[in-house]
Structure 1
Amino acid sequence: MDCKHLFIASLNSGSNGNCYYVGNNEEAILVDAGISCRETERRMLRIGLSMQKVKAIFISHEHTDHIKGLCTLSAKYNLPVYISVGTLAACRFSIRQDLIRHLHNNETIQIGSLSVTGFLKIHDASDPYSFVINHGETKVGVFTDIGEACEQLVYHFRQCHAAFLEANYDDALLEKSAYPYFLKRRISGGRGHLSNKKALELFSTFKPAFMSHLLLSHLSKDNNCPNLVAELFTQHANGTEIIVASRDEETQVYTIFEPAAVHSF
């Protein structure tokens, strides 16, 4: 059987900027561009990834930590930007018109031999999307900035060989934090972010046996702890490698196979 694989890495993950790389030997995409063009280039270079393989940027929603490097990065490399109509309307800057491609719910877009499916998610943004990237039967999901795990997310999560999954806050840490009441309610109110508890419930209930990697993403600086969330998920991993994506630096590159023969470099 021709075993197709995907290379994945988090270039940054958190309220200070989000950018995720998914690709194969020939082409790749970025999901979100929330760090500067220069920093994106530096981090990719450090882990042996080439911007020349990146063929498109997919934008999840309009919040600054997902788009602040977008205009420069897309213009410099002439990269098409796949973005929903609502997200584009909510952006406070102008993307080059010739680079704009519209996203539609459950539409699959072909980027070389990569297939990218976007679907609507629950978040307090104008028209927010999650993504699943396929190369053959190998599937990777990017599931961050989620208030609740909707049916579509569960459906796609159950098919993924690896996923970036939000684990934004610990309930007790958020409750005790100095955040104002309205912000606490915004984060935890069902349209904000996914807690450790809710992310773990999704993972432990719907994780497929063949999921080789889980990259816990978008951790809060003030209301979560990398060691806490790593320990929590490792207890329920059942063979899945648990990685906590950093707010400050890139991860290594992980290679995802179907069937799930696990490698990394």
Structure 2
Amino acid sequence: MSLFITSLNSGSNGNCYYIGNDQEAILVDAGISCRETEKRMQRLGLCMSKVKAIFISHEHSDHIRGLPVLAKKYQLPVYITPETLRFGRLDLPQNLVVPFVADKPVHIGALSVTAFLKFHDAADPHSFVVTCQDVKVGIFTDIGTCCDNLINHFSECHAAFLEANYDDEMLDNGYYPYHLKRRIRGDKGHLSNKQALTLFTTYKPAHMSHLLLAHLSKNNNCPNLVSEIFTTHAAGTEVIVASRYAETPVYTISSTGNMVKKAALPKAERKKVARGRANIGIQQEIIW
């Protein structure tokens, strides 16, 4: 059985990732509005009726901003740890709140979702691996350090969303104050291009068909630069840079190595989305 994946948005202005099969799907994080989530899924030919749950990685606003409205409208269970719920100050009906525990799989139909702890400046942050039969997809963003857990899970994935937040030189030469640069670079900050590339080149499994590079900084990174350096080392893996203003195409991930792309957003529509990016809530953007 294949998994279908897309980034609906990726960046400090909002994060939301879709992973599903033919019958059911989940969202990891809900950092864009309910309306934008619906519009982007509709453009891709994806149905909200297939979404059976939302998994929340941590409480920062770019990961939960659209959660209350989306969860209430579609009566979706929200898998979230008690600490993330508390620090996120979320207005969620109790019947929709489902706690999860690290390293204990949660079954959503044929999907199995396993969370594991990560290093990030949040109350109780987790990354996720979604498995369907023998296909594995990892969601690895907002990470300060490549720990053994991350390495082990990454090395098993057929596809992954992987953070490449900043370029060292751009961060050094940028206008951010020293304390913020130190925070971004810290063990509980974000992965740089160099850190993500080292993980990719050292631990990428031969069967990894797709890598979606995620959570790029608006001010301290460049999509073209990221695409170039990772594509150079792709070795058969398709590299996609997830946008902070639009959805990616839907990619089909299988264990056989067949790489099928579907539902690509037309170029004219992408320009339209980019022009309207201010409506996504960019004024509330975290500075990272």
TM-score by length of 2: 0.90
Helix, strand or coil at the partner of 1:103: coil
Q: CA deviation at 1:85?
A: 1.6
Aligned match of 2:143: 146
Aligned match of 1:48: 45
Aligned match of 1:111: 108
Q: Deviations over 1:28-86 (max 9, x none)?
A: 00000000000000000001110000000000000000000000000000000000121
Whether 1:211 aligns to 2:208 is: yes
Aligned match of 1:10: 7
Q: What is the rounded CA distance, in whole Å, between the counterparts of 1:160 and 1:172 in structure 2?
A: 30
**What runs of 5+ residues in structure 1 fail to find an aligned partner?**
none
CA RMSD of aligned residues (A): 0.5
Structure 2 residue corresponding to 1:158, chosen from 142, 149, 155: 155
Structure 2 residue corresponding to 1:246, chosen from 243, 251, 254: 243
**What runs of 5+ residues in structure 2 fail to find an aligned partner?**
263-288
Aligned match of 1:87: 84
Aligned match of 2:260: 263
Structure 2 residue corresponding to 1:75, chosen from 72, 76, 99: 72
Q: CA deviation at 1:93?
A: 2.6
Helix, strand or coil at the partner of 2:73: helix
Q: CA deviation at 1:246?
A: 0.1
Once the two structures are aligned, what percentage of the paired residues are identical? Answer: 64
Aligned match of 1:201: 198
Q: CA deviation at 1:263?
A: 1.0
Q: CA deviation at 1:187?
A: 0.4
Q: What is the rounded CA distance, in whole Å, between the counterparts of 1:149 and 1:84 in structure 2?
A: 22
Q: Which AA in structure 1 matches 2:260? A: H
Q: Which AA in structure 2 matches 1:22? A: I
Q: What is the rounded CA distance, in whole Å, between the counterparts of 1:96 and 1:20 in structure 2?
A: 23
Q: What is the rounded CA distance, in whole Å, between the counterparts of 1:125 and 1:175 in structure 2?
A: 24
Find runs of 4+ consecutive structure 1 residues off by over 4 angstroms. Answer: none
Aligned match of 1:180: 177
Q: What is the rounded CA distance, in whole Å, between the counterparts of 1:142 and 1:93 in structure 2?
A: 22
Structure 1 residue corresponding to 2:61, chosen from 57, 61, 64: 64
Q: What is the rounded CA distance, in whole Å, between the counterparts of 2:100 and 2:195 in structure 1?
A: 28
Number of residues paired by the alignment? 262
